[in-house]
């Protein structure tokens, strides 16, 4: 997915279906300028949607329709940037739901038709695409687009009764394959979530990665709610189908309670549930000389895990030399997420506000069972590509004809929602190993890991925490801790040198303790010698 296109392009996007139906008006009554139009009334329920997905899994896969390819192929990034959905035509611009809905136009990067319906009680109607609901130049290729071709996706605007102008601000967007994202509590888009990941970065041919699509959506108001909305989605792909329910809450953080019923058509080698997708290029830990003028460029800087056994783990992200998958085996994890911990503008210096990118945490609402959190890191030389994936992968092989029901909550927030009382890792730094004024042996690397937190503030005067460091290969030396000389209470750093031979990565582990008392979360790192 072209992340630069996705993150920059959010089009502007209003007679309510409930109002039309209450008035007893047929769909054609909404066909005048300045209003949406709707298809025929059809019965709808989530149970029926689950049955539809289950039945579809036993049938041959039919790829989504790509209407008017001769037109969409001409709607490039630049051309789509000139097309704006008319906010006066937004669904629920006047109620009853608190969040008006605007729509994305089909184009070069998003050619697949997405059907979008609005739910009213036990019934639903399709929202019909009409080009007159979009502002576009007179010479735009989209002027030739016929009505009824569908949309590329949609987004929820901020509430009409909120403090910001809803016509200029949105908080959730569904666009492309099964991708969706939210601005979280810091009002900035960044990483994305997906409905499912199939054979992501699988090194075993012929298991090609698939990108199942949310091919149809249903939007439903939540009765008497001023901060919630519900979305249903039908997922379809060559090897999998699914029915998803999203209950989305607009609070300080954005919460999404997801109930997913997933059915497999074929065997799947790497079956990724609750997948999160982000971008990491470089940070303070290891940056090639003069690669870019900015100190850091990333949407997320680490993977956080809260294991079923209660351990808190922090794994900084890498820009790896080749595609790498790390697996963290667990049973019934309490949560995991891709976080942006560094919130200092001076560490980025960029107007796109990387320091405000949301963190995204997965909280199981029902046991996940046995499996692993898998972290996929893909090499990149630019910020336009999403090159990081974190997902839950069941332990047992996944065969065609299986079904899964997953219940979980996504927290789009500034930080993980359940922080521990332990000190947390706030920086990882690498440099040449050895002592000042002495020869620096080839292959010797120094690691400096900063920890900050209340558990370190309470240490008695003169007591130093112990750094417990282990490595999967190589030789450790010169291990010690010291207070960071910045006057900040509870700010310590652990240092050690590592000598390794050969290019294979080394798996490192470090935490701080005082006697038998654990003081910090566990730092994990995959070091790629260079």
Cβ-Cβ contacts under 8 Å for 40 (sequence gap 6 or more): 27, 125, 126
Task: Assess whether 244 and 290 both reside in one domain.
Answer: yes
Task: Assess whether 435 and 407 both reside in one domain.
Answer: no
Last residue within a domain, chosen from 413, 434, 457: 413
Number of domains forming the structure of the chain: 2
Please give the residue range of the domain that contains residue 480. Answer: 424-527
Phi, psi (rounded to 5 degrees) for 57: -65, -20
Last residue within a domain, chosen from 351, 385, 413: 413
Q: Is residue 310 part of a domain?
A: yes
Task: Assess whether 218 and 74 both reside in one domain.
Answer: yes
Task: Give the pLDDT confidence of 466-500 residue by residue, as tens digits.
Answer: 999 999 999 999 999 999 999 999 999 999 999 99
CA distance 423 to 433: 26
Give pLDDT, residue 139: 96
Q: Is residue 355 part of a domain?
A: yes
CA distance 13 to 100: 9
CA distance 270 to 353: 34
Q: Is residue 419 part of a domain?
A: no
Per-residue pLDDT band for 140 (boundaries 50, 70, 90) equals very high
Task: Assess whether 377 and 286 both reside in one domain.
Answer: yes
Task: Assess whether 405 and 457 both reside in one domain.
Answer: no
- CA 66 → CA 106, 110, 115, 411, distances in Å? 9, 9, 12, 33
| Whether residue 4 has pLDDT greater than 50 | no
Q: Is residue 82 part of a domain?
A: yes
Which element (helix H / strand E) includes 72? helix 69-72
Task: Assess whether 330 and 476 both reside in one domain.
Answer: no
Q: By 3-state DSSP, what share of the chain in percent is helix, strand and coil, each rounded to 5?
A: 10, 40, 45
Task: Assess whether 440 and 374 both reside in one domain.
Answer: no
CATH of the domain at 455: 2.60.40.10
Task: Give the pLDDT confidence of 220-243 residue by residue, as tens digits.
Answer: 999 999 999 999 999 999 999 999
Task: Assess whether 88 and 234 both reside in one domain.
Answer: yes
Last residue within a domain, chosen from 358, 381, 413: 413
Task: Assess whether 463 and 361 both reside in one domain.
Answer: no
Task: Assess whether 409 and 481 both reside in one domain.
Answer: no
Please, where are the H alpha helices in 401-493? 454-457
CATH of the domain at 100: 2.70.98.10
CA distance 464 to 322: 39
- In angstroms, the first-to-last Cα distance of the chain is 30
Task: Assess whether 405 and 500 both reside in one domain.
Answer: no
CA distance 154 to 174: 6
Give pLDDT, residue 439: 79
Q: Is residue 316 part of a domain?
A: yes
Task: Give the pLDDT confidence of 499-512 residue by residue, as tens digits.
Answer: 999 999 999 999 99
- CA 194 → CA 175, 232, 381, distances in Å? 10, 14, 24
Residue 297 burial by CB count (10 A; 0-12/13-18/19+): exposed, middle or buried?
buried
Task: Give the pLDDT confidence of 352-372 residue by residue, as tens digits.
Answer: 999 999 999 999 999 999 999
Task: Assess whether 48 and 147 both reside in one domain.
Answer: yes
């Amino acid at each position: 997915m072209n992340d630069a296109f996705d993150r920059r392009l959010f089009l502007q996007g209003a007679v309510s279906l409930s109002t039309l139906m209450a008035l007893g008006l047929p769909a054609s009554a909404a066909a005048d300028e300045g209003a949406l139009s709707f298809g025929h009334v059809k019965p709808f329920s989530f149970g029926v949607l689950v049955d539809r997905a289950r039945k579809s899994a036993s049938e041959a896969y039919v790829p989504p329709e790509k209407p008017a390819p001769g037109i969409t192929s001409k709607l490039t990034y630049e051309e789509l940037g000139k097309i704006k959905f008319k906010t006066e035509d937004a669904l629920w611009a006047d109620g009853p739901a608190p969040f008006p809905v605007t729509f994305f136009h089909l184009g070069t990067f998003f050619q697949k038709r997405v059907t979008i319906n609005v739910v009213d009680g036990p019934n639903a109607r399709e929202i019909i695409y009409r080009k007159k609901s979009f502002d576009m130049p007179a010479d735009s290729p989209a002027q030739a687009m016929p009505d009824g071709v569908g949309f590329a996706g949609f987004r929820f605007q901020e509430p009409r009764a909120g403090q910001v102008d809803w016509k200029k601000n949105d908080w959730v967007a569904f666009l492309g394959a099964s991708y969706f994202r939210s601005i979280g509590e810091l009002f900035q888009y960044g990483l994305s979530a997906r409905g499912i990941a199939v054979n992501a970065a699988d090194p075993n041919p012929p298991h090609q990665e698939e990108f199942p699509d949310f091919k149809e959506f249903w939007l439903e108001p939540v009765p008497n709610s001023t901060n919630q909305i519900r979305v249903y989605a039908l997922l379809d792909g060559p090897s999998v189908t699914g029915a998803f329910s999203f209950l989305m809450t607009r609070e300080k953080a954005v919460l999404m309670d997801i109930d997913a019923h997933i059915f497999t058509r074929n065997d799947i080698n790497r079956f990724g549930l609750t997948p999160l997708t982000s971008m990491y290029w470089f940070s303070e830990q290891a940056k090639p000389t003069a690669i870019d003028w900015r100190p850091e460029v990333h949407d997320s800087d680490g993977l956080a895990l809260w294991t079923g056994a209660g351990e808190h783990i922090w794994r900084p992200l890498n820009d790896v030399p080749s595609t790498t998958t790390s697996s963290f085996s667990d049973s019934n994890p309490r949560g995991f997420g891709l976080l942006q911990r560094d919130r200092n503008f001076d560490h980025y210096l960029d107007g796109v506000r990387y320091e405000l990118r949301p963190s995204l945490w997965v909280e199981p609402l029902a046991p996940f069972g046995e499996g692993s959190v898998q972290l996929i890191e893909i090499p990149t030389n630019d910020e336009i590509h999403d090159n990081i994936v974190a997902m839950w992968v069941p332990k047992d092989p996944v065969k065609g004809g299986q079904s899964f029901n997953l219940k979980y909550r996504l927290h789009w927030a500034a930080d993980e929602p359940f922080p521990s009382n332990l000190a947390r890792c706030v920086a990882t730094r690498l440099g040449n190993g050895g002592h000042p004024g002495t020869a620096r042996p080839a292959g010797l690397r120094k690691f400096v890991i900063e920890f900050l937190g209340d558990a370190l503030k309470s240490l008695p005067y003169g007591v130093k925490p112990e750094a417990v460091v282990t490595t999967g290969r190589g030789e450790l030396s010169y291990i010690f801790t010291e207070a960071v000389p910045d006057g900040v209470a509870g700010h310590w750093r652990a240092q050690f040198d590592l000598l390794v031979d050969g290019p294979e990565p080394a798996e490192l582990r470090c935490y701080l303790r005082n006697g038998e008392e654990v003081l910090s979360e566990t730092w994990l790192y995959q070091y790629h010698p260079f």
